[in-house]
Structure 1
Amino acid sequence: MTFLRSALVASGKTYRTRGISHRVSQINISAIKEMPLIAAKVGGCVSLGQGIPSFPTPPHIVEAVCRTMKENPQSGKYTLGPGLPELREAVARHLRVQCGIEADPEREICITVGAMEALSAAILTVVERGDEVILPSPNYASHIEQVLLAEGVPVFVPLDESSWRLDVEGIRRAITPRTKAIVLCNPHNPTGANFPEEDLRKVAELAVEHDFFVISDETYDFLVYDNESHFSVTSLPELRDRLIATYSFSKKYAMTGWRVGYVYCSEGLLDQIMKVHDAMAICAPTLSQFAALAALEGPQECVSEIRTALQGRRDMVCERLDRLEDYFDYIKPRGAYYLMMRYKIPGVDSMTFALRLLHDARVITIPGAAFGPTGENLIRISFGGNEAEIHEAFDRMERWLSGHPFESP
């Protein structure tokens, strides 16, 4: 039982275990989703927790969907399983222009219920009971649960704590005959790292040498700062038949609630992934697919505006953290909109720290232990909220810390 589930049990939550399958009983709803549930009972909280961007869905997307609802009677019906043909064609054009990838829209692209369904379907397709999946850690919490749901074995390889850089030699040492895949998220949730091209190329070489899959979570591919470039392993031809890449419209176009993303891979892999997609979802929501089409075909200024605003919020969060240097260490994010901060309070686990901060100061953060064993003594914050919310959260945190909450009376 996780720390978080223990906290919920203590608050009166009970869980049935009799008759529940092992693959489900061994996984948990991530702390990213559970902390807001606890906060809802506390009341009056400000969130630095779940990665929900504050921006509204751009008007041209909303207007296009409204027109579709009024004018297209098919908008309330199922689409083909792989998705609207015109959306898959738009995705293929986007991959070609933005990523230099030549993708066949009919055979290599499937529209999914967000990147989460794409990731789950990919992992369920290639991972069998006992297969090992390498997770650079700290890593996105749901990747762990998805591997466990497939009855695989997560193998955590710590990132370099001085820079959140991939430890390529650590990955090499972690490879065994049971290694089936590695999951890469770049830019990285939860650390905000932007992995260097040379490291990603070396990981690709290991995948070819040792014959395992690369599952690439490209959710934040657009979100890098300080004029840095983003390198994607999807551009590497040597990974052609062992790569599964997943993408999301959620953060790029402020469409978290629309639940639409896509998966790109070779035809042989997609044929198998489609079996899982059909069993779990049939198809992505039709209206959401029309919204995604409008996003890709409409003006793209909204993407650069979101990126610019988030870079400003990153700088603001770093300035606030610099004022708390007696309490936290951190590495400035180079991408995504997350930051992992290490607190300087010995003997306190991250779950205890996050829950005390939630109950005492009414600030939502995510305990680092949710992101794998190397996340302990860390707290993840998101700077996706607006400036006023971020300042209010830090004001509360400063007042709380000034009272030395963990010192004995």
Structure 2
Amino acid sequence: MERSALEAAGKRYRTEGISRRVRNIAVSAIKEMPLLAQKVPDCISLGQGIPSFPTPAHIVEAVCRHLRDTAWSGKYTLGPGLPALRRAFADMLVRERGLWVDPETEICITVGAMEGLCASILTLVDSGDEVLLPSPNYASHIEQVLLAEGRPVFFPLKPDTWQLDMKALQKAISPRTKALILCHPHNPTGAVFAKEDLQMVAQWALEHGFFILCDETYDFLTYDGRPYWSVLSMPELRRQVIGVFSFSKKYAMTGWRVGALVAPADILDHVMKVHDAAAICAPTPSQVAALAALEGPQECVAHFRQTLQARRDRVCAFLDRMAPRLSYVRPQGAYYVMVQFPPQIGDSMTVALRLLHEARVITIPGSAFGPGGEGHVRLSFGGTEAELDEAMERLAQWFDQNTA
């Protein structure tokens, strides 16, 4: 098990009486680094993926009206979620994807995308099952596979582009392969995978009988006019694919904790068992907010995308000035960039902790994202322009002093 950021900082965990499942997982460094930063004054975060934008006013106002005027605003909804929200989400999939799903039997509203992913993995993965993960890979996917007592099997992305290494992926498939998890656009690298590669992945899933879990959190966020395509669009794969969506980034609703899961009805029946046992239902006010987001004006989404593209360009310009000490692959989507540093200054956990305490900047150690992330730190450019400028100036000064 990878050493956690808190352990690296000296925290010791009790083991007596704690289940093996829980001993084998960790809170991701994405969440741990801000905890450590509480003790560092005047710290700037390039860590957790929290967009700087406030939740759009029309969403907030809809929830306020609902809380004032509706008697059931503080009560449970049906387990799968508000019927109106599920219908609105299905309508959005038709409108934006040309994808038809049954809102009654194929959609569940979840407590953020994270709960939907965890419920799906616990539904599909048995002890010893292998789950394919690109490396680097979003940290919490790894922990969720371990929680299900599955075996993460990493295959590398191409380090010069962060595109799928198709030969490595094909080699990683085995008779024990149960699923492949793809976050696309990709966290932590910002890659947008080639359509032809995704189509080949889908073909292998059909041939070998494994599931594909699509983490679609950043489906709206590609740059430079780059098109987005998902294996959810392939009708022949529908019985083997689960799509997990989030309102967090698309509508600046990270704290509302609401997402959506799309799956074949006979799989969703089983996912609902986990959802019911863990959550009962997503919070009612958050579901009202999600409905307002879908039914309200969508200009905010375009504004977020335009602003984040400009912030990407801003951060990349800083990184270009820091070459050749640092290198990176320009992100095509999401709002993260993996920055490679010289190996002589330490491993990624050491570097991230030093950046926190010496430069007063939160970054995420690449080791949190699996073996392919070592030698990097992940930066988020979701913050304001002023925050990004100050943080990048601090990083530039630190790397100047430590990579001479």
TM norm structure 2: 0.98
Contact 2:345–2:351 (8 Å) recurs in 1: no
Equivalence map 1:178-193=2 (5 Å): 178-193=176-191
Partner of 1:7: 8
Partner of 2:245: 247
1:230 to 228, 235, 239: 228
Contact 1:326–1:344 (8 Å) recurs in 2: no
Shift of 1:217: 0.2
Instruction: Render the CA deviation track for 1:312-332: whole Å, top value 9, x for unaligned.
Output: 000000000011003211110
Alpha-carbon separation, structure 1, partners of 2:96 and 2:282: 23
1:22 to 20, 29, 32: 20
Counterpart of 2:248, as a letter, is S
Contact 1:327–1:345 (8 Å) recurs in 2: no
The yes-or-no answer on 1:305 pairing with 2:299 is no
Equivalence map 1:125-274=2 (5 Å): 125-274=123-272
Task: Report the secondary structure of 1:397's partner residue.
Answer: helix
Counterpart of 1:141, as a letter, is A
Instruction: Render the CA deviation track for 1:27-47: whole Å, top value 9, x for unaligned.
Output: 000000000100111222101
Shift of 1:3: 4.7
Alpha-carbon separation, structure 1, partners of 2:50 and 2:4: 24
The yes-or-no answer on 1:64 pairing with 2:62 is yes
Moved over 4 A (4+): none
CA separation of 1:72 and 1:16: change in aligned 2, threshold 3 A: same
Contact 2:50–2:254 (8 Å) recurs in 1: yes
2:336 to 311, 335, 338: 338
Instruction: Render the CA deviation track for 1:95-139: whole Å, top value 9, x for unaligned.
Output: 111111111000000000000000000000000000000001100
Shift of 1:14: 3.0
Task: Report the secondary structure of 1:274's partner residue.
Answer: helix
Shift of 1:401: 2.1
Alpha-carbon separation, structure 2, partners of 1:373 and 1:403: 27
1:79 to 56, 59, 77: 77
Alpha-carbon separation, structure 2, partners of 1:316 and 1:115: 29
Alpha-carbon separation, structure 2, partners of 1:277 and 1:4: 30
Partner of 1:48: 46
Q: Give me the CA root mean square deviation.
A: 1.0
Partner of 2:279: 281
Bigger mean CA deviation after superposition, 255-264 or 42-51: 42-51
Partner of 1:293: 291
Alpha-carbon separation, structure 1, partners of 2:290 and 2:398: 42
Shift of 1:15: 1.5
Counterpart of 2:231, as a letter, is V
1:314 to 309, 312, 316: 312
Instruction: Render the CA deviation track for 1:174-219: whole Å, top value 9, x for unaligned.
Output: 0111100000111000000000100000000000000000000000
Task: Report the secondary structure of 1:80's partner residue.
Answer: coil
Shift of 1:4: 1.9
Counterpart of 2:221, as a letter, is L
Counterpart of 1:302, as a letter, is C
Task: Report the secondary structure of 2:344's partner residue.
Answer: coil
Partner of 2:35: 37
Identity %: 62
Shift of 1:346: 2.4
Alpha-carbon separation, structure 2, partners of 1:148 and 1:125: 13
Alpha-carbon separation, structure 1, partners of 2:304 and 2:158: 29
Alpha-carbon separation, structure 2, partners of 1:122 and 1:328: 38
Alpha-carbon separation, structure 2, partners of 1:345 and 1:129: 36
Contact 2:93–2:100 (8 Å) recurs in 1: yes
Shift of 1:347: 5.6
Q: Mind listing any 5+ residue stretches in structure 1 that lack a counterpart?
A: none
Partner of 1:95: 93
Shift of 1:344: 2.1
Shift of 1:272: 0.5
Shift of 1:168: 1.6
Task: Report the secondary structure of 1:369's partner residue.
Answer: helix
Alpha-carbon separation, structure 1, partners of 2:113 and 2:197: 24
Contact 2:4–2:27 (8 Å) recurs in 1: no
TM norm structure 1: 0.97
Shift of 1:238: 1.5
Bigger mean CA deviation after superposition, 390-399 or 260-269: 390-399
Contact 2:316–2:330 (8 Å) recurs in 1: yes
Contact 2:4–2:28 (8 Å) recurs in 1: no
Contact 2:192–2:228 (8 Å) recurs in 1: yes
Counterpart of 1:7, as a letter, is A
Alpha-carbon separation, structure 2, partners of 1:171 and 1:397: 35
Instruction: Render the CA deviation track for 1:243-267: whole Å, top value 9, x for unaligned.
Output: 0100000000000000000100110
Q: Mind listing any 5+ residue stretches in structure 2 that lack a counterpart?
A: none
Alpha-carbon separation, structure 2, partners of 1:14 and 1:351: 17
Counterpart of 2:75, as a letter, is K
Counterpart of 1:30, as a letter, is S
Contact 1:134–1:155 (8 Å) recurs in 2: yes
Task: Report the secondary structure of 1:245's partner residue.
Answer: strand
